[in-house]
Amino acid sequence: MEERTEINNLGEFGLIDHLTRNIEIRNAGTILGVGDDGAVIDHFGKQTVVSTDMLVEGIHFDLMYTPLKHLGYKSVIVNLSDIYAMNAVPTQITMSIAFSNRFSLEALDEFYEGVYAACERYNVDLIGGDTTSSQKGFVISVTAIGEVAPGKFVKRSTAQKGDLLCVSGNLGAAYLGLTILEREKQIFLENPKVQPDLENQTYIIGRQLKPEARPDIISFLAEKEILPTAMMDVSDGLSSEILHICRQSELGCVLYEDKIPVHDEARQMAMQFGLDPTACALSGGEDYELLFTMKQEDYDKIVLNEEIAVIGYMTGPEEGAHIITRGGNRHEITAQGWNAFK
Amino acid sequence: MEERTEINNLGEFGLIDHLTRNIEIRNAGTILGVGDDGAVIDHFGKQTVVSTDMLVEGIHFDLMYTPLKHLGYKSVIVNLSDIYAMNAVPTQITMSIAFSNRFSLEALDEFYEGVYAACERYNVDLIGGDTTSSQKGFVISVTAIGEVAPGKFVKRSTAQKGDLLCVSGNLGAAYLGLTILEREKQIFLENPKVQPDLENQTYIIGRQLKPEARPDIISFLAEKEILPTAMMDVSDGLSSEILHICRQSELGCVLYEDKIPVHDEARQMAMQFGLDPTACALSGGEDYELLFTMKQEDYDKIVLNEEIAVIGYMTGPEEGAHIITRGGNRHEITAQGWNAFK
């Protein structure tokens, strides 16, 4: 039988001590970490980038098919992704959680295992947080802090007409992973004896449950001395993000359907579900890839990088935002990105 | 009739635009605020202090007697208080909220009115956050960022034997304010026609519903060139906080009951409730005063400041932490501070 330790036996400070007992500090700038009213960071002349995200049980995740370790990992990744999207390098996070008494100490340990795994992989220090109870459900709030050389951060609002529109990796798989998990959940609810059928779908499901951020793209761009003209991460779906860049940069764009990178397994799975792979990429969300614009003259520097696809270009605002389909048709791009209030 | 605008009519980004439309930037270090993947801060050679707190409906606040504007204000204050407790000056906050569909746009506006009022009063910039839905209740997560001259931050763990133990303002009133509000709630639940009786208790109730942080103490100490040897804010009750300083500094202490500052109205109200005013100060919490230790030779510099009371001194660890009562008895101090897991 699994062990179950009740958290109220430890008390708040006992719990914090327990959860943070193995913290390692990896950044020289982390002057003071967990255990005081605040943490202290020295950025040694760099600028600080801050981003925060809240994840709510039943809205952003379903614990029926999300292992807590994966949830801890993903909670960190989604925030680091925002820091990279500013062209910065994440250095610290704070992690606050509220949870009901249905969670045991072992469950929290599992969650924090994922948190620490992400911190280790991305070389980030956990420097603080809050640990409290909730009446119902699990709520996670992460703030990520990063650093960037003064003036080198990249906003969404600074794309220029004629710039190339680029995206890293591939899109739509995380949404298809979610679709599979939701299907298996329904099958399980109808007949708890049926075992989930997740074979041959590890890539897609991994994209949903254990996403990664793209520091490799940030390093590559720095190495090639490319400063993107605008950048953001793809969390709500490609169409929603493109419209953010268009609106905030006061531009239009042309996007080519056949240039949108979709993984083979995602394409096959979309077909199985009777879904359009392009629609999954445009509206699916949670891919945590980087969407950026850059000057045309930088094209030669990226052409050999298989992890970067040029998917279109920026136009004047009067042309609006359009997609050219494989069939050569032109459609307006609409925001069908994931909306927490739908 | 009050107006009620459903939030899902706006969508997430419409809501964020609405709630952040009047943001003013007050700090030169705030290079980029709300509206991108992250915010950017330049600390111009100072060190950054970070603190975060989560407030959960039903655990930390009861909307039956907490006006949303006050809740917004207090959510900011409790975080700024942690930054001051590090001897730093808060400069930015991020504010994330999750709320169920029982909250209207007007309700969120009221909440943010309080948030902005606190930002204005404390000269702090709101630079980001997250706005999402919850299945039930209201959850608030704030991260506060501040700055301090390199090496001038003050920890809890650096008190020295013989140091004076000091506290700002007065203690226990916030707890008594909560006790009154809880009493009136019970009366109302039993008989909704009875109007709450809150007259002559505005000071005490204000301490609970609209606490303030103590930047004046931080400025005063700086002006007098006093660097506290240890410091923290009083959020869980004096006894709990004193034990933190003792444990983290590996010291004991002597605390004098008759030196603990209690407001006259709090003392009277405690009597009415049949409570010991000292117990309210020791265990009540939420006073957001500053508890600090300093060298004895600095005593002359603070003696005329009526907002600072010397309440005891630090001893070697072998002597433990004790309180000397008015009657001259000596009792061990136990942590009866507020515990979210009780």
Percent of chain A residues topping a pLDDT of 70: 97
Kindly state whether B262 is in contact with chain A, defined as any CB-CB distance less than 8 angstroms.
no
Pick from A34-38, A105-109, B222-226: least confident: A34-38
> Which pLDDT does position B26 carry in this prediction?
86
pLDDT at B37: 85
Cβ atoms within 10 Å, residue A310: 16
Question: pTM for the complete prediction?
Answer: 0.93
Mean pLDDT confidence for A304-328 = 96
Q: How many residues does chain B have?
A: 342
Is B85 in Cβ contact with A38 (below 8 Å)?
yes
Q: pLDDT grade, residue A4 (50/70/90)?
A: confident
CATH number of B164-332: 3.90.650.10
Q: What are the start and end residues of each CATH 3.90.650.10 domain in chain A?
A: 164-332
Which residues 105-144 of A have a C-beta within 8 angstroms of B?
127-130, 132-137, 139, 141, 143-144
pLDDT tier for residue A231 given thresholds of 50, 70 and 90? very high
Residue A219 has pLDDT above 80, yes or no: yes
Choice between B159 and A105, residue whose per-residue pLDDT is larger: B159
Task: Please tell me which of the candidates A134, A143, A148 has its beta carbon nearest to residue B56.
Answer: A134
Task: Give the pLDDT score at B342.
Answer: 36
Reported ipTM: 0.91
Q: With H, G, I as helix, E, B as strand and everything else as coil, classify residue A292.
A: strand
Question: Where are the CATH 3.30.1330.10 domain residues in chain B?
Answer: 7-148
Strand bridging mode A289-294 / A164-168: antiparallel
Q: What is the 3-state secondary structure (H, E, C) of B274-322?
A: CCCHHHHHHHCCCCCCEEEEECHHHHHHHCCCCCEEEEEEEECHHHCEE
Q: Which distant-in-sequence residues (6+ apart) come within 8 Å of B182 by Cβ?
A: none
Instruction: Point out the residue among B49, B59, B96 whose CB comes nearest to the CB of A52.
Output: B96
Interstrand relation of A47-56 and A138-148 (parallel, antiparallel or unpaired): antiparallel
* Tally of CA atoms within 13 A in the half-sphere of A330 that contains its CB: 6
Give the pLDDT score at B134.
92
CATH superfamily of A7-148: PurM-like, N-terminal domain (3.30.1330.10)
pLDDT for residue A336? 66
Kindly tell me if the per-residue pLDDT of A339 is higher than 50: no
| Residues in chain A, total | 342
**Mean pLDDT value across chain A:** 91
Give pLDDT, residue B5. Answer: 83
Residue-level pLDDT at A295: 98
Chain A residues near residue B31 by CB distance under 8 angstroms: 47, 153
State residue A13's pLDDT score. 74
Give the Cα separation of B66 and B80 in Å (integer): 20
User: Which residues of chain A does B53 touch, with a Cβ-Cβ cutoff of 8 Å?
Assistant: 96, 130
What does the pLDDT read at residue B338? 41
pLDDT for the residue A341: 42
3-state SS, residue A50: strand
Q: Considering only CB atoms, which chain A residues are within 8 Å of B139? A: 54, 56, 98, 134, 139, 141
Q: Between chains, do A54 and B96 touch, taking CB under 8 Å as contact?
A: yes
Which 176-235 residues of chain B touch chain A by CB within 8 A?
A: 231-233
Which residues of chain B have a pLDDT value below 50?
Answer: 337-342
- pLDDT of B341 reads 42
Q: How many angstroms separate the Cα of A92 from the Cα of each of A76, B34, B266, B281?
A: 10, 20, 42, 36
- Asked if residue A9 has pLDDT above 80, the reply is no
